[in-house]
Chain A
Amino acid sequence: MQTKKPKAPLAGLIYGEIVYWGVLVGSLIVIIGSVLAFMGDNFVPVSYWMTSVWKGETVAQAWQGATGALPNGHWYLSCLTTGDGLTAFGISLGVFSVAPALFLAGFALFKEKEWLYGSLAVFGGIIVMIGVLGLAPMPK
C-alpha cells in the first residue's frame, strides 16, 4: 500500500495560485468598492441600481434610466475612482485571473514537454480572451 502523498504538478500549482490570489485581490477591491459605493461616490447611485433591479426592470431599461444607453463594453474602466466602477472592476479582475493562469500553466507544461496539455491550456486561455475582449458577435 502506497502511503506517501503524491506531489502536485507545477502547472497545477501555478494555475491554482494565480487564480486563488487573483480572486482574493479582486475580492479586496470589491470590498473597497462596495464601501465607496455606500459612501455615495458612484457612477450610478446604489439606490437606483437596487431599486431598478428589484423592480424587475430589464437590463436595457435600467441602463437607459442610468446613462441613456447600454454600456456595450467595459464601462467600469473609465470610472475606477467610483464605488460601483471599482466594484465591477474587482469582480472582473477575479474572473480575469483565469486567463493568465491558463497561459502560465500552459507554459509550465511546455517546459515539462507536455506539449498536448500545454497547448490545450493555451487554447483554453485564447477562448477566455475572446470573451474578455468582446470578440464574440453581440446583438446591436
Chain B
Amino acid sequence: MIKVPLSWLKEYVDITWTPQQLAAGLTLRGIEVEAIIQVGAEWDKVVVGEVISVEKHPNADKLVVVQGTDGQQQYQIVTGAWNLKPGDKFPMALPGARLIDGHKLMDEKIAGKRTGDLLSGDVPYFTVKGGKLRGLESQTVAVAALELGVSEEFEGIVVLDPNAPVGAPLQQVLGDTILDIDISPNLGRVLSMVGMAREVAAMTGVPYRLPQIQIHEDGSPVSEKIKVEIEAPDLCSRFSMMVIEGVKIGPSPEWMQRRLRAADQPVINNIVDITNYVMLEVGQPLHAYDYDHIHGREIVVRRAQPGEKMETIDHVDRTLNPDILLVADAERGVCIAGVMGGADSEIKDTTVNVALEGANWNPFNIRATARGMFDKVSEAAKRFERTVDVELTTLGVRRAIQLMQQYAGGKVAKGMIDNYPTPKAHHVIEFPLSEIPRLLGIEVPTNEVIAMLHTLEFEIAHVRPDGSYQFGETDNETIIMVREEQGHSNGDVIMVRVPTYRNDVTIPADLVEEVARMYGYDKIPETMLRGALPPQSTNYAILIDEKVRDILTGAGLDEIITYPLVALDDLKKLHKAVSEDSSTAPHHLHWSDPDALLKLANPLSTEHEYMRPTLLASILNTLSENRRFVERVAIFEIGHVYLKKEGQPLPEERRTLDLALTGPRLPLSRYNPNLKEAERFDFFDIKGVIEELLVRLGIPASQISYEPLPTGESPMLHPGRAAGVYIQRAGQKQRLGVLGEAHPVVVEAFDLPAERVAIAEIDLQAVPALIEREQYQTVTRLPVSSQDLAVVVDEDTPAGRVQALIRETGGKLLTDVTLFDLYRGKPIAEGKKSLAYRLTFQPQDKTLTEDEVTKLREKIEKRLTREVGAEFRG
C-alpha cells in the first residue's frame, strides 16, 4: 500500500535501527510491514568505477573512449555517453553483468511499440561482454540509469558520489532498502515519508525533521491571478492555491525519478512528478492546473450539475451528477475534486503557467466518487478517503512550489490563496487515567503515560484549582484533575489535546491504545476471565448437527461442505424431468424459478449467483465431481437453505440435511472382488440410513412413516422409487423430507454415470421440536417366544400396512416384528406376494403359554384377512 525507501525516509529521521528491527517494531505498533525489499540486489557484477581518462574515438565523432578502473584492473570502454570526466565515479559493469537493454527499449520507443513509462511491464535484458566498436576494443560498459532500472535516463552515465569507494558493489552506493507497508483505514497519517518518520521517531526515540522551504515570491500578488470560491464547504474544508509562471516542462531530476519509482509512482514530467513527490513526502495530495486553461481566472468548488459532462485526463467523457464535487472555472469543471483532473487543464509539454491546488476534501464523498468511477483507487483518493490533516494544505503547496521553482524555473506569484471557511479546532479528550488498567489490565505510572503521550505529540493541559484548563506555556505545573465520577474509582483525569493529523484519536479508548502501543503489546500479561459465568444452556441445533455427523459417519458417509451460492442452471437440472406443459404446480418447483429465489446484485459469476433453496444440486455436483475419481460415494451435508419471506427483509434460513449414495455398497476388497457386479446403493440403503438416523435423533419410531409422494411433487426423484418422510404427532402430520432415487434424467443432467443415485433431503430445522424424551421399558428375564408368519397379499398392498396391522393387533406382548423375507413366484399366485415376518412376544410378568401365543397369532391372522384379504402359508 505504501513503499518507503529508507534512503528517502532518512532525510526526515535518523535511522538507528536495522531494517528488520524497524519492520518488526512498526508491525507490532499496527503498521504492518509486509516485506523488506532490497533494491539493487540484482546488480551483480556492477561496481563503482573511476574514470582515468576520456578521449575522442579516432574513427567516430559521437563516441568516446573511457579508461576506467575498479581499483584492480583497467578497462577500456567505448561509449556514446559524453558526460564522464577524469576522476568521476560511475557504475561500471564487469563482463558477465546482466543489465536492462536500453538500446532496445529506445528502439522500441522510437518505433512506437512502447509508450508511457519505459520501465513498466516486461523489459528486455542483455549480458555484458567485450567487443569492438568502430575498430576499438570495448572491454565492458559504463552503465546508464535506464540500464539499472532506476530511471529513464539513458543519454548519460550516472555519476556517483565522489566519496563512493572504487571497486565496491554498486548496491552499496546506489542500492536501497524499501519497506512495503500495508496501511489499514485508520492510518492515513503514515501515508507519507514525514508521517512514517514521525512514527519511527516516536518508536526509536529520536527527533524527526520537516522539509525546509524557501521560495522566492518574485511575481505579482496571487490575488490578482486567481480567485477561489467554495460553494460546498461541507465537502471542501480548505482550498489553498499558489501560481507559478514561466515554467519549463521537462523531465524531473534523476534523484526524484528514482524515488518515485522506488515508491511505485509513474514518472511523467517535472511539474506532475513534483506534485506526486510532495504527496508522498508530506502526505498532501496536490493538483497542478495549466493556469492558461482556467477560464475566467476563477475557481469555484461546487457540486456538479445533473448530467454535466467533463473529459478527464484518462480521456474518458464522464457524465456527472450532484453527488460529485467539482473544481470548476468560470465555465466548466476542470477537476473531479480529489479524484481525477480534467483533460483540458492538465499539464502539457506546452504549459507555461501553473496553478497549484492543495485542498482538503470530505473523505466520504471522495470514497463514494472514486469507487463509483474507478476500479483502482488513485493515490490521492486513497489518502483523502482516510482523511488528510487539514493543516497540511499550505505546507504541501509551498513545498511543491519550491521544488517547481527549483527544477522548472519560473516566477512565483506573491502569497497564497488559502480559503479555509471554518478552521478546525483541536480535539480535546478528557482522559480518566483509570481507563488504562480497566481496559488493558496493566498499571502504567502516570509520569510514563504523560511521557508516552508527549512523544506522540499529544499535549496535556495544565489545570487550575477551579477546574479550568489551558494548553501551552503556563506557570501552573498541575496537570491532573480529580473528578469523582461514577465508574472511575480513581478520579485522576488529564485533558489531552490531539494533534491535527491524528483524526483516528477521538475517545479515551483511543488514547488507551496509544499507551498500549508505546508500552508494547508484547508486554501485555496473560490473565484469565474472573467474573461469574453467564447462565449455561444447550444449543439444540448444534447438538443435533453433531449427532447427525456422528450417526452418519458411523453409517459410512463422508461429510462435505459446499457453497450456498449456486447457479440457476444447476437448480434447473433438478427439474429436467418436468415436462414443459405440466399444468400442475407441484411443490419444489419454485427451486428453478428465479423470481422465487434470492439473487445477488453483484455476483462474481453466474456459477455462484443464487442462494440455494435446496442442497440437492450441490450434493449432486459433488457426487459427480468425485465419481470421476472414485467408484463409491456416500456423502452428506448440513447447511442452510434460503427461502424468501414475503414482507421481510431477510429470508428464512432453514437448517437442512442432504444425503447421497451411489456406486457399489461396499468398497473393493477381497470380500467384494468384482465392483462392476457388486450390489449398488439404492432406495433401501438411503431409507435404512434415514430410518436409523431419525430414531437415533430421538423421534419416536411410532410417529415416523414413509409414504409414496403425490404425483409430480418431487420431480427430481424417480417416480416409482421415492418417498416422503412424515411425522404424525398430536393429530398433525408433517413432512420432514423426501428420499428416493434421483430421476434418470436428473442423473444424466448432473453428468453422473447411468446408475442408481440415492438421495434424501431432510428439514433439520424441524427436528428439535420433534424429539421426545427416551422412556425406560422394563427388561424382564422371562423367556421370549417367537413365531414366523408368512402373509400372502395382493402385490399392491403396501408392506407397511401389513406390518402396522400386525403391530396394532399384537399389542403390548408383541415386542418386535421383523420382515425377513419377501417372495414372489410359485407356489404363490400371480399378482400376489408373500411377506414373512418373525414375531417376538415378550411377556412382562409371567411366562406365556403355548395357548396364549396361538390365540394372539390367530387374532392377527383374522385381522389381516379381514383388512387386506391376507392368506397364510405353512
A and B: bona fide binding partners: no
**Residues of A near any B CB (own CB < 8 A):** none
**Residues of B near any A CB (own CB < 8 A):** none
